[in-house]
Structure 1
Amino acid sequence: MTTAKDAEGIDLDIKDAIEGYERFRMEFDRDKAFYKSLATKKQKPRLLWIGCCDSRVVPSQITSADPGELFEVRNIANCVPPSFAGDEAVGAAIEYALGALGVDDIVVCGHTGCGGIQALAEPLPPETDAHLGRWVEYTRPAHQLVAAARVPEDERSLATIRAHIQFQLDNLMTYDIVARGVAEGRIGIHGWLYDMEAGEIRAYDPKTGAWRCLLDEGAGA
């Protein structure tokens, strides 16, 4: 694949990033007091957001969050490996957010059209995508559940995405700091699903098993 360049031979993707940075610098200069406050005060995010790293799904845009408001963990298919799985990155972020930063709400947010979920429907060659192949294995329980339920093919993708989010909520509870916080009523965990076409978030209600519009009364509780 040939990298697109401008007339001066500059990579267009890098040029776009530099121009974006230039616009940020203008914004920074306009609001220096805010950015100085961010730099000099301890961060106090309101949510631990565990979401997919899909470039089309931007947590701060979806929630209209300012810098400093979301503590984000983003990976392929918004996975929360269980505490015994040996993945340090996600576990460390969970412990730091809850223990050091005092975050008291965790959102696991998946999205429609998730390629990470789709990956197991079209198996990856392990010799060429070893790391990716191992990672998307975390989505297998959802695939197995949906297959066992004999969900119609045209509904299977959405059903798998939803089931995967529910499994990640279960995985959160394998972390002692989460389980203790939930049991004591100090920590809330929330499963959300972002519909990219509709621009709508649906929240999972563990009491009823329903997925309700986040703007419905009580859906985000």
Structure 2
Amino acid sequence: MAWSIRSRVSSFLGSEVGVMGSLFHWDTCWRTVPFSVPTNSSSAVSSRTRPWPKFVSILKLFWFSYVNFSLILWFSYFQMNWARMDSCYAAASFKEKQSENKDTDVRNMAEAGGEHALFGLMKQRFLSFKNHKYMKELEHFQALSKAQYPKFMVIACADSRVCPSNILGFQPGEAFMIRNIANLVPLMKNGPSECNAALEFAVTTLEVENILVIGHSSCAGIENLMKIQEDVESRSFINKWVTNGNVAKLRTKAATAHLSFAQQCRFCEKESINQSLLNMLSYPWIEDKVRSGLLSLHGGYYNFSSCTFEKWTLDFNGCTVNEESSSYVIKEQEFWS
């Protein structure tokens, strides 16, 4: 494309030079045209050659200046377009190369056979982060080394396919995170766990303004919860943990008895998120802040098969939390696709 435009410009410049050559030829010829004066009986003046009038020389100078100025304008115009096209081609090439490097990086991680190869690739990623992110935002990262002021706490599943920083673009310092099997939040009465310890730190020390619980499609933890037999005691740490979602399981069974097991699991994946939001209200230091409007509780659901995201907010005024039963109302639902 760029070469074809340059060829046209060359043709144009050649045509302009031709015009100037014709002008020289025209001037030379007409300089020698005889200028005749009518004769009469009283006086006769023979034909003679007169020089070209002075004003034509001025006209010629003006014409040459106009042609030269036009050539300069045309050349500048095409030069700007060439530069613009070159920058576009360079940007497109950079993006394509970046995408290829990323795909190659993912394949390398998947194909790396030994521990040394895996950590070698990890080292490359770290150095890339340092050179292209950390050093370019050095002042920001130095400020983060002294303190953190995140607006969000995120509770997400430990599934390797569901990384909140990648999906939602959280940058360092923006979200305090904890990840566990099936993104569950236990009731306060169930005793201490790393989840409620993280909740306490985020709410009372960091004073986050939002807590976001993110579930996802094809969650193995929820599937495991739906398969557990009620009358069978298990020594599995996984089984004991996912029973924190038993209330969501019972609600799912009651609402989806006519559906397939896979559909019941999809329903429970979202129901367990809302149950975790309700469970957080069993912690007094969370309930007080939500009641006063200083803290909001949100749910999110990521479907990585269709790459869609659902977001909603717990409506505290419509919720009921007690020992016998609990109910919830959600608001501000959004669907991102």
TM-score category, normalised to shorter length: 0.7 to 0.9
- Partner residue of 1:142? 248
Secondary structure of the corresponding residue to residue 282 of structure 2: coil
Corresponding residue for residue 214 of structure 2:
109
Between 1:203-212 and 1:41-50, the stretch displaced more is 203-212
Give 1:132's aligned residue.
Answer: 238
SS in 1 for 2:305: coil
Q: 1:206 to 1:45 in 2, by over 3 A?
A: closer
1:18-52 deviation digits (Å, cap 9, x = unpaired): 3123221232134331433322x201112100110
Using the alignment, how far apart are the partners of 2:334 and 2:253 within structure 1?
A: 26
**Contact 2:296–2:314 (CA<8 Å) still a contact in 1?**
no
Structure 2 residue aligned with 1:166? 274
* 2:297–2:313 Cα contact (<8 Å) kept: no
Structure 1: state its 5+ residue gaps.
1-9, 217-221
* Aligned residue type for 1:194: Y
1 CA distance for matches of 2:155 and 2:282? 16
Q: Between Structure 1 and Structure 2, how many residues are aligned?
A: 205
Matches within 5 A, 1:36-185: 36-39=142-145, 41-123=146-228, 130-149=236-255, 150-153=257-260, 154-185=262-293
Q: Establish whether residue 213 from structure 1 lines up as the match of residue 334 from structure 2.
A: yes
Deviations 1:164-200 (CA, angstroms, capped at 9, x unpaired): 1111011010111110001001000001111111221
CA contact (8 A) 1:28 1:35 kept: no
Identity rate, percent: 27
For normalisation by structure 2, the TM-score amounts to: 0.56
Counterpart CA distance in 1 for 2:217 and 2:128 is: 35
Question: Alpha carbons of 1:71 and 1:91: their partners in 2 closer, same or farther (altered >3 Å)?
Answer: same
Please state how far the C-alpha of 1:13 moved relative to its aligned partner: 5.0
Moved more, 63-72 or 178-187: 63-72
Higher helix share: 2
The higher radius of gyration belongs to 2
Distance 2:266 2:252 in 1: 10
Bigger mean CA offset, 55-64 vs 129-138: 129-138
Contact 1:202 1:211 in 2 (8 A): no
What's the secondary structure of 1:81's corresponding residue? coil
1:200 correspondence with 2:317:
no
Shift of 1:141: 1.6
Secondary structure of 2:148's counterpart equals coil
Higher mean alpha-carbon deviation, 57-66 vs 201-210, is at 201-210
More contact order relative to length (CA 8 Å, sep ≥ 6)? 1
Kept in 2: contact 1:108–1:190 (CA 8 A): yes
> Which segment drifts farther, 48-57 or 132-141?
132-141
Question: What is the CA–CA distance in structure 2 between the aligned matches of 1:53 and 1:181, rounded to whole Å?
Answer: 27
Structure 2: which 5+ runs fail to align?
1-111, 316-328
Q: 1:172 to 1:74 in 2, by over 3 A?
A: same
**Structure 2 CA distance for aligned equivalents of residues 38 and 97 of structure 1:** 16
| Of 195-204 and 72-81, the range deviating more from structure 2 | 195-204
CA distance in 2, matches of 1:13, 1:194: 31
Q: Does 1:19 align with 2:121?
A: yes
CA contact (8 A) 2:212 2:300 kept: yes
Indicate which of 187, 204, 212 corresponds to 2:295: 187
How much has 1:120 moved relative to structure 2?
2.5
Cα distance, 1:87 vs structure 2: 2.7
Q: How far, CA to CA, are the matches of 2:313 and 2:259 in structure 1?
A: 23
- Tell me, yes or no, if the aligned pair for 1:44 and 1:68 is still in contact at 8 Å: yes
- Equivalent pair of 1:109/1:193 in contact (CA under 8 Å): yes
CA drift at 1:104: 0.8
Q: Which amino acid aligns with 1:179?
A: E
| Distance of 2:314 and 2:210 partners within structure 1 | 16
The TM-score, its normalising length taken from structure 1, stands at 0.82
